[in-house]
Structure 1
Amino acid sequence: MGIKKQGFRFLLTGLLLLVLMLAGCPIPETVQENRTYSIEQMLGYLRGQGFSTDDYSLENNRLVIEGDILFNIEDLKAEMYLSDQDSARQSVCINQVRRSKIINIRINTRAPSPSTSIISESWMAALKSAVDAWNNVRNCILNFVLVDSTAKSDTFVCMEANANTGIVAMASGPDWNGNPGTGICINPNWAGGVENLSPSQKYLVMLHEMGHIVGLQHAEFDLTGYGYIPGTPLNDPMSVMNSMVLGS
């Protein structure tokens, strides 16, 4: 399927504004261990950040919301704990990559665990095209770099089976310390067959999930106005960050 260039341009303009506005969050070197939060408390916290939590699931110590956004539960608890200590922090740190971490985001296509596998050549081609698209934003310091399987990396792209057959792929958001999301997982259990997607659809999926790892939410799911990026359209049906980016 095709992508309307105007929608992608507005998204990238907004991403540039977001990057330029980030000054970094003062994260304490130590976070107390005695933080205990229920799933309902975590969901409430995420709703306060503008996320929809109507349908959520738990996958390998990760909380999945809006279908394809992953939060490591321990990282989320740490962010909540820090917010409890200083209420002014709630509007700056959640789900954003810190400016100091955004220069080069290294992507590895290794299989990080026995439950995962490497992506196919067609998905690799889609990833490379998406990397080029993000990197071709003028006057933006954001840069993705593909590295080989033995190199140190910030995030990975792999195949990982998920019980939800309605999800093509999922991605984790930045952690509480401002590091990029740690992974993009393509779901081989997707009912439509992930290898049956066209090259342009795979490219669109990669564009979308790469947006999540730097902290972009679903464009139409900002329930509170909290996550709106100035300079972007209030309603853009062609945005690559819409949740139903491949259609309903």
Structure 2
Amino acid sequence: MRKIPVPMKVLSAALLPVIFYSCGSKVTDLEPTPPAPKPPVYEIPKTPQDTLAFIYSRTLGLDSTAVKAMDENNLLVDGDMTLPKSTLAQMFSTFPLVEAKDSSKTIKSPYVVNNYRVFKIGYHPGQTAPGVESALYSAIAHWNGILILNGAEFNFMAYSDPGPSDIMFYTSSYLLLDVPFVVSLPTSTGQPGASITLNTTYLQVHNITKDQLVSAMVHALGHILGLQHSDRKMTSYYDAGNIGDLESVMHANFPQGPHTKMFSKGDTAMVKRLFPAPKWPVQSAGQIKDLVGIEMTAGNATLYYTKDGKVVRGTWNNAVGPMTTYEGRTDIPNTEIAEIACSGANRFYAYFTNGWYMNGEMYKLGNNPIDGYIQAHPVPGQSMATFIGTTVKKDNDDCYYWYSDGTYSVGRSGYWAQYSYGNTFTVPTGKKISDIKAIASDDEGRFYFWYKDNTVSRSASLNHSNPEGPVAVKIN
């Protein structure tokens, strides 16, 4: 091994402590020199709130400096999440402990949902930048897709009326924060964070695409539920299943990266662990001809609604699955429902044989407002007597209506001919238009016709040309 020459100054400095001890001390009096203390990662807490912030950061597996004061009343967590100082103490006493399904760990979780419900996101129409509203709906559809597909017990829904909202969408300018959104974390009661705020400064500085904006909004919705960045420390007590996952939507740099898909395997595992599927009995929806409506949600889960108030979650060719109940109007029986449609953000529309409709949630069809009732305006020359099916295109919320004379129209939920009408469609060989019982569309823009003989066909075209099928629907 080649010797490396040592400069005299370095050698002298290294020998100086030895010379000092040999001249002034006995060997028996010597003790090892303690190493120089490392600078603390976090400044010693000065107040009870600082101490709580320290504990909170360590519980989440964050560097302690990741929790800072944002203003007099709020903490800024990891750059893009806010937490009221007043709720910090309560959170530690109310976080439930949840046993992970696929490990022996327990999870300190503020966002476990024990009963099905919808988290309503309110916004003020006209007060958002161009493209932001549609990005919000796309982000909601992505979340609902993974939640509903994996049997989660809630979904998101957007409302232009902020009145009934659980979460408000705001727009503001944060000059000192280089993040697209600032969101609030869940409260001490386990409800989702109360606000999502779009940082207009970020949009002005960065020329981001619509896909990046949608990705950033998906990330923000995760924080609303309480999810932290997936690149936090592996030793975190707060383990949601996607720790260390570079492709997770909750990675700190996710919106900036080139991602080909929205949710990773780690994110799917996280959803299954933290939002476990309800233990509903698996049953059949029965004969297609006896249903009141069929619709597909985000994630392409297919819901089969029965006349006796049941709904089965299945697939496009399988009407057997977890069954629960749904609510319609209190003064009109469900047997009077003619069809059901679902928007990209999982807002459901139920149309009655009398020409009126209501909108609401997946299992509470008349909940916006409760028992709300609106008169529909069909195409000139058409009526509920000639109406055979409806659906909503998931990417733009255009509503489509099909009629017994072989035509369809494009409009909105109340005005069926707002965009066009008189367009023609076809059915597969061997089928008649009168055989159609229900119509739906999926996330990929395909259209489905279910027939009274328990078969279904699908096509990429509105006129249902070149369809796949008909194929049998499993009903038992």
Q: Deviations over 1:192-239 (max 9, x none)?
A: 626832100100010000001111110011453312224x4x532121
Question: How far off is 1:106 after superposition?
Answer: 0.3
Corresponding residue for residue 83 of structure 2: 71
CA distance in 2, matches of 1:239, 1:174: 20
Residue 211 of structure 1 pairs with residue 225 of structure 2:
no
Counterpart selection for 2:131 from 122, 142, 147: 122
Deviates more, 1:123-132 or 1:49-58: 49-58
Residue 134 of structure 1 pairs with residue 143 of structure 2:
yes
Corresponding residue for residue 52 of structure 2: 42
Unaligned runs of 5+ in 1: 1-36, 84-88, 112-116
CA distance in 1, matches of 2:174, 2:250: 21
Percent identity among equivalent residues? 21
Which residue type is aligned with residue 51 of structure 2?
Q
CA distance in 2, matches of 1:60, 1:171: 17
Unaligned runs of 5+ in 2: 1-46, 99-106, 258-476
CA distance in 1, matches of 2:172, 2:159: 20
Corresponding residue for residue 183 of structure 2: 171
> Which protein shows a greater Rg?
2
CA distance in 2, matches of 1:174, 1:63: 13
Corresponding residue for residue 213 of structure 2: 202
Superposition TM-score, scaled by structure 2 size: 0.38
Question: How far off is 1:48 after superposition?
Answer: 3.0
Residue 228 of structure 1 pairs with residue 239 of structure 2:
yes
TM-aligned CA distance change 1:150 to 1:220, over 3 Å: closer
User: Over aligned residue pairs, what C-alpha RMSD do you find?
Assistant: 2.9
Q: Does the CA-based 8 Å contact 1:201-1:246 persist in structure 2? A: yes
TM-aligned CA distance change 1:194 to 1:212, over 3 Å: farther
CA distance in 2, matches of 1:91, 1:48: 17
Q: Does the CA-based 8 Å contact 2:82-2:184 persist in structure 1? A: yes
Corresponding residue for residue 96 of structure 1: 110
TM-aligned CA distance change 1:242 to 1:70, over 3 Å: same
Residue 149 of structure 1 pairs with residue 158 of structure 2:
no
Q: Deviations over 1:54-106 (max 9, x none)?
A: 242313621111110111111113224x37xxxxx685696622414762000
CA distance in 2, matches of 1:124, 1:194: 20
Q: Does the CA-based 8 Å contact 1:173-1:215 persist in structure 2? A: yes
What SS is found at the alignment partner of 1:218?
coil
Higher strand share: 2
Higher helix share: 1
Superposition TM-score, scaled by structure 1 size: 0.70
CA distance in 2, matches of 1:121, 1:186: 13
CA distance in 2, matches of 1:110, 1:69: 22
